[in-house]
Amino acid sequence: MKPTTILSFLLVSAAIIASSCAQPEPQPAPPPAAVPSAAAPPAPALDWPPFSPAARQALAAELQPVTLKNCTLRRYGSASDGGYLMCENLTDTAAAAYSYGIDTEDNWGCEVSKQRGLVVHQYDCFTPHRPTCDGGQFVFHDECVGARRESVDGRPFDTMPSQIARNGHRGNRCS
């Protein structure tokens, strides 16, 4: 049986890739504004281009519920943000896992690594923080996923197929 590569990434990216739409050019987050120490800094705004009603409908059409067959669901990661349902019985042949846009923590990646015995390749070009996982294996890549290999404002971007190939997982089936 052919090895599998497990992917985890933002829903917006997943929907765009699943619908074969062109992904918008990555835009760097604006620098945080200076705030008094008593107040929490505002969340950076995402600078996404506006979507037309037709694009919104096409995206919504891709996000329809499906009935899963031969799937034993299990949640990996934290109980709130950072946890995802996976068909654990379909990951037995996994050779590696990929986690995109991890920021400062990767609860999903830590649990997948520990429970499934996999190396998790983490990708994020917006933070210098390197999450750790006692009992798990992470390989951090200071790079983001994008439409092509390029540098935007000093941040490296590349395509998922290129990243997967550089790690020796080309030809693996992705789940």
Cα–Cα distance for residue pair 150/134, rounded to 1 Å: 34
Residues pairing with 53 in the sheet: none
Terminal Cα-to-Cα distance of the chain (whole angstroms): 14
User: In the chain, what percentage of residues exceed pLDDT 90?
Assistant: 41
The mean pLDDT value for 84-92 works out to 88
Residue 2 burial (C-beta neighbours within 10 Å; 0-12, 13-18, 19+):
exposed
Work out the number of other CB atoms within 10 angstroms of the CB of residue 23: 13
What amino acid occupies position 113?
A: S
Q: Is the pLDDT of residue 47 over 70?
A: no
Domain boundaries, the chain: 4-18+64-174
Work out the number of other CB atoms within 10 angstroms of the CB of residue 96: 22
Cα–Cα distance for residue pair 66/15, rounded to 1 Å: 14
Average pLDDT, the chain: 76
DSSP labels, 38-49:
TSPPPPPPP-PP
Q: Which residue has the higher pLDDT, 143 or 6?
A: 143
**DSSP 3-state of 95:** strand
Confidence at residue 15, expressed as pLDDT on a 0 to 100 scale: 26
Query: Tokens 């983001």 appear where?
Result: 144
Cα–Cα distance for residue pair 143/73, rounded to 1 Å: 30
The mean pLDDT value for 25-41 works out to 48
Q: Is the pLDDT of residue 65 over 70?
A: yes
Q: Is the pTM of this model over 0.85?
A: no
- pLDDT tens digits, 94-125: 889 999 998 888 999 999 999 999 999 999 99
Work out the number of other CB atoms within 10 angstroms of the CB of residue 30: 10
Work out the number of other CB atoms within 10 angstroms of the CB of residue 69: 6
Phi, psi of 165 (to 5 degrees): -65, -40
Most confident range (mean pLDDT) of 25-29, 49-53, 128-132, 148-152 is 148-152
